[in-house]
Amino acid sequence: MTLRDHLAAAVQTLRVAGVPSPEVDARALVLHALNLSPTAFLLRGSEEVAGADAERLGELIRQRAARTPLQHLLGMVDWGGVQLRVDGRALIPRPETEWLLHLALADLNGVSAPRVVDVGTGTGALALGVKMARPDAAVLGVDLSSEALALAGENAALNVMDVVFVESDLLANIPGTFDLILANLPYLPDADRAHADPEVRHDPDLALYSGPDGLLLARRLIPQAHTALTESGLLWLELDPRNAPAFAAELRAQGWAVTLHADLTGRERFVRAELTPLTPR
Ligand SMILES: C[S@@+](CC[C@H](N)C(=O)[O-])C[C@H]1O[C@@H](n2cnc3c(N)ncnc32)[C@H](O)[C@@H]1O
């Protein structure tokens, strides 16, 4: 079979398996399995692919058809300006979270040598993304999962970056104050577990669910953030568009100055909160 034949067969296999983007995934796996650049792929479409190459590709396509996430099969993602190793130890960083990084970084303009903490760091995505954009920042990533922290440490080494990762239940073990607290914590209602996509089942449960309305952890973080923010410090949270407006209202009722921000699909998902003189200390 030629390269083109393998690609067509892979697309068909993935389509039958219900994979949402069979063409994109099949092409990515063909390039990965055969270690081809996009240009080489275009030029070598009529070449025969057999033996170990064909077997390696077949195995990847079988795993993707069984709904192993594409990112786990590729092993790496480009995210927020950094290269991240991804596997079952931590949530695969999502594209919408890159927008949180973008929004929060804009708030650091004019703050020199900011102190930043990423609560629930997972692969280290946000922490490393901040450090890449702002090498002058002192960045800490915390997580409850020692497995996630091991992966985050590997990602810091991979990108040759000086970010400290610490095991903590939210900010419970973290002394000091911060100019920016970033938190993409679990925010799905527990009931979502029953109808999660097959790929999402490869993310750790600890990374996904947060009580009946998805806000359990965000609510627990607030008093800690209150103590840990500098006077002009900012808290940025990613939530579910179903619960972000309700959480923003809760924070306003507690005296925080809050704005809601949309993701690139127009859904209000990000909460920016700062202390005001009305927020009781
Ligand atoms: C939705 S994932 C986000 C990972 C990463 N920030 C990202 O954007 O890709 C949430 C992370 O929060 C961590 N987590 C869950 N409960 C926690 C807690 N009580 N304290 C600290 N981290 C927690 C999970 O282990 C997981 O890594």
Q: With respect to residue 279, please indicate whether it lies within any of the assigned structural domains.
A: no
| 53 and 128 assigned to the same domain | no
Minimum-distance ligand 1 atom for the alpha carbon of 185: 10
**pLDDT beyond 70 at 217:** yes
pLDDT of residue 159: 98
Spatial contact of 279 and 255, defined as CB atoms under 8 Å apart: yes
- Tell me which residue of 129, 162, 127 sits closest to 142, measured CA to CA: 127
Residue 167: Cβ within 10 Å count: 12
Q: With respect to residue 26, please indicate whether it lies within any of the assigned structural domains.
A: yes
CA 34 – ligand 1 centroid, Å? 34
Judged by DSSP in three states, 84 sits in: strand
| 25 and 122 assigned to the same domain | no
Question: What is the dihedral sign for C-alpha 143, 123, 139, 277?
Answer: negative
| 116 and 255 assigned to the same domain | yes
Residue 146: Cβ within 10 Å count: 10
| 116 and 210 assigned to the same domain | yes
**pLDDT beyond 70 at 281:** no
| 101 and 232 assigned to the same domain | yes
Residues 6+ apart with CB under 8 A from 243: 187, 189, 213, 214, 215
Q: With respect to residue 72, please indicate whether it lies within any of the assigned structural domains.
A: no
Q: What digits encode the pLDDT tens for the residues 91-110?
A: 999 999 999 999 999 999 99
Q: Is 169 in the pocket of ligand 1 (CB under 6 A)?
A: yes
User: Strands, E, within the chain: which ranges?
Assistant: 76-79, 82-85, 115-119, 138-143, 164-167, 178-183, 229-238, 257-262, 268-274
Q: What digits encode the pLDDT tens for the residues 63-78?
A: 999 999 999 999 999 9
Q: Is 120 in the pocket of ligand 1 (CB under 6 A)?
A: yes
Nearest CA to ligand 1 atom 14: 120
Q: Name the token pair of 43.
A: 């030029």
Judged by DSSP in three states, 5 sits in: helix
| 178 and 207 assigned to the same domain | yes
The residue from 66, 93, 114 where one domain ends is 66
**pLDDT beyond 70 at 4:** yes
Nearest CA to ligand 1 atom 4: 122
Mean pLDDT for all residues in the chain: 96
**pLDDT beyond 90 at 280:** no
CATH of the domain at 224: 3.40.50.150
Directed axis angle between helix 125-133 and helix 95-107, to 10°? 40
Strands 229-238 and 115-119: unpaired
| 196 and 149 assigned to the same domain | yes
Best of 79, 85, 91, 238 for a ligand 1 pocket test (most atoms within 8 Å of beta carbon) = 91
Minimum-distance ligand 1 atom for the alpha carbon of 186: 1
| 17 and 144 assigned to the same domain | no
Total tally of structural domains belonging to the chain: 2
Spatial contact of 103 and 125, defined as CB atoms under 8 Å apart: no
Q: Is 143 in the pocket of ligand 1 (CB under 6 A)?
A: yes
| 56 and 146 assigned to the same domain | no
| 177 and 55 assigned to the same domain | no
Q: With respect to residue 71, please indicate whether it lies within any of the assigned structural domains.
A: no
| 126 and 173 assigned to the same domain | yes
Give the structural domain span for 233: 78-274
